[in-house]
């Protein structure tokens, strides 16, 4: 008791006054939600955690890769955060196999996660029968967004239904004086664009063949080379300001009607929301060509670095309980642009983009795993490097096809 500071003592006394309630459960949370829409969403989690008696220590780190590497290094260095964001990715599975995480089985049992989580999410998050993470949302990283005003002014009357209609729309936007395609020139964003073209221009089967290939032959096929040239053809529609641009700055180009299209995950919707723009009125969205387009599924999870300290475990469990609760799921996902991980919550009036997402979620034939779920972080790194080099230099299609084939062989 004498070790307590004056402040600590005050907290303890206040806690005892509340019928013996414990000290605030302190959680340091590492995440990479730094844009306007993302910050608004994470604040919902923080507010709910505080309202439940917790103390939230926010560690926002710009860039997913940076944030995840920081967490891994801090765990390895014995200075782990309480909670940390990952994607539903093979990298998460690697961290599980390294034995770095506490499981959330107790909270999962009490919250009936087995029943309420959608099948593809549950299948990915549960490893060897244990919940080593708490899923918080479902994102599709592969949407096409567009400014309705820019397309109308350019005379684009309908959403493209195939690659040549997409190019025709881009040509019209260019002729109208606007920037046809807003792209953030960072490797992961160029990767998002490439994967979207792979499953829209090439088709879901080619996409799956590519990511499951271990001999690399598919990368040398004429169908795949066509994808590569379609992808590179898009360069002519991107403005010179693209290199290093953040994804939300690219979304802002649609919001301000400077650019026509952006290919990005549905977290972009959080930016439209902050700007008070409405789906179907100010901006449009489609996940691919037509009503039955493949729908890529990914999401964010929170992991709980290993600790035996009962106070840390209590904070981790409180976090998982709060962030999966129905009200928090609705508040958070509305701001984040994602779909809740509970099948039993009512999001109220869904906007036209979420309606498409929810419809697709119910149709397993349309589901496409994200690249992070199909390629190890090492392989994904090699593939991303090859795509970025191809996009940013005058490397030929034949050359990059060889490099990609070698990367697939591993």
Asked if 38 interacts with ligand BGC (CB under 6 A), we say yes
**For ligand BGC, the closer CB: 12 or 330:** 330
**For ligand BGC, the closer CB: 86 or 289:** 86
Q: Where are the beta strands (DSSP E) in 177-309?
A: 179-181, 259-264, 283-286, 295-297, 300-303
Smallest separation, CB 291 to ligand BGC (Å) = 25
**For ligand BGC, the closer CB: 64 or 202:** 64
Asked if 64 interacts with ligand BGC (CB under 6 A), we say yes
Is 285 in a helix, a strand, or coil? strand
Asked if 32 interacts with ligand BGC (CB under 6 A), we say yes
Asked if 44 interacts with ligand BGC (CB under 6 A), we say no
Which residues make Cβ contacts (< 8 Å) with residue 85, sequence separation at least 6?
29, 30, 31, 32, 33, 67, 68, 300, 301, 302, 303
Which residues make Cβ contacts (< 8 Å) with residue 246, sequence separation at least 6?
35, 184, 186
**For ligand BGC, the closer CB: 254 or 405:** 254
Show contacts with ligand BGC in window 264-293 (CB under 6 A). Answer: 265, 267
**What span, in angstroms and rounded, lies between the C-alpha atoms of 145 and 268?**
8
* Contact indicator for 216, 408 with CB cutoff of 8 Å: yes
Which one among 230, 300, 351, 384 touches ligand BGC, defined by CB under 6 A?
300
According to DSSP, the β-strands at 83-87 and 283-286 are unpaired
Which residues make Cβ contacts (< 8 Å) with residue 155, sequence separation at least 6?
172, 176
Burial of 7 (0-12, 13-18, 19+ CB in 10 A): exposed
Show contacts with ligand BGC in window 239-268 (CB under 6 A). Answer: 265, 267
Tokens encoding 277: 């723009």
Per-position x/- string for 166-205, each x denoting binding to ligand BGC as judged by CB under 6 A, each - no binding: ----------------------------------------
Smallest separation, CB 286 to ligand BGC (Å) = 19
* Contact indicator for 163, 227 with CB cutoff of 8 Å: no
Which one among 25, 71, 87, 195 touches ligand BGC, defined by CB under 6 A?
87
* Contact indicator for 324, 125 with CB cutoff of 8 Å: no
Name the residue with the smallest CB distance to ligand BGC: 267
Per-position x/- string for 92-131, each x denoting binding to ligand BGC as judged by CB under 6 A, each - no binding: ----------------------------------------
**For ligand BGC, the closer CB: 32 or 143:** 32
Which letter, b or e, does each residue of 205-234 get, where b requires 16 or more Cβ atoms within 10 Å of its Cβ?
A: ebbbbbbebeebebbebeebeebbebbbeb
Furthest C-alpha separation in the chain: 75
Asked if 140 interacts with ligand BGC (CB under 6 A), we say no
Smallest separation, CB 31 to ligand BGC (Å) = 8
**For ligand BGC, the closer CB: 38 or 190:** 38
> Residue numbers of the site for ligand BGC (CB under 6 A)?
32, 38, 64, 87, 139, 265, 267, 300
């Amino acid at each position: 008791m004498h070790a307590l500071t004056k402040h600590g003592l005050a907290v303890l006394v206040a806690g005892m006054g509340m019928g013996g309630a414990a000290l605030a459960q302190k959680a340091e949370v590492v995440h990479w939600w730094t844009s306007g829409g993302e910050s608004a969403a994470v604040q919902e989690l923080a507010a709910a955690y505080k309202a439940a008696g917790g103390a939230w220590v926010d560690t926002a780190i710009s860039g997913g890769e940076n944030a995840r590497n920081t967490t891994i290094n801090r765990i390895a260095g014995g200075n782990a955060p309480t909670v940390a964001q990952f994607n539903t990715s093979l990298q998460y599975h690697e961290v599980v196999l390294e034995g770095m995480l506490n499981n959330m089985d107790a909270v999962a049992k009490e919250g009936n996660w087995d029943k309420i989580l959608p099948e593809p999410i549950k299948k990915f998050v549960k490893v060897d029968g244990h919940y080593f993470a708490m899923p918080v949302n479902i994102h599709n990283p592969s949407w096409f967004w567009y400014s309705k005003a820019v397309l109308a002014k350019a005379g684009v009357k309908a959403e493209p239904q195939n690659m040549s209609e997409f190019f025709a729309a881009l040509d019209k936007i260019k002729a109208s004086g606007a920037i046809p395609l807003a792209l953030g020139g960072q490797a992961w964003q160029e990767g998002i664009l490439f994967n979207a073209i792979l499953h829209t221009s090439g088709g879901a089967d080619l996409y799956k063949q590519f990511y499951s290939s271990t001999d690399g032959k598919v990368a040398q096929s004429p169908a795949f080379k066509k994808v590569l040239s379609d992808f590179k053809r898009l360069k002519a529609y991107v403005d010179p300001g693209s290199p290093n641009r953040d994804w939300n700055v690219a979304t802002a180009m649609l919001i301000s009607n400077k650019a026509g299209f952006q290919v990005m995950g549905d977290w972009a919707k959080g930016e439209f929301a902050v700007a008070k723009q409405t789906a179907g009125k100010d901006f449009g969205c489609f996940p691919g060509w037509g009503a039955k387009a493949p729908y890529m599924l990914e999401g964010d999870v929170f992991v709980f670095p290993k600790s035996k300290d009962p106070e840390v475990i209590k904070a981790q469990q409180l976090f998982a309980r709060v962030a999966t609760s129905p009200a928090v799921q609705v508040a958070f996902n509305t701001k984040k642009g994602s779909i809740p991980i509970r099948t039993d919550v009512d999001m109220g009036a869904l906007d036209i983009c979420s309606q498409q997402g929810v419809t697709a979620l119910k149709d397993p034939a349309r589901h496409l795993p994200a690249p992070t779920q199909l390629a190890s972080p090492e392989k994904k790194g090699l593939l991303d490097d090859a795509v970025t080099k191809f996009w940013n230099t005058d490397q030929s299609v034949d050359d990059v096809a060889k490099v990609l084939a070698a990367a697939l062989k591993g």
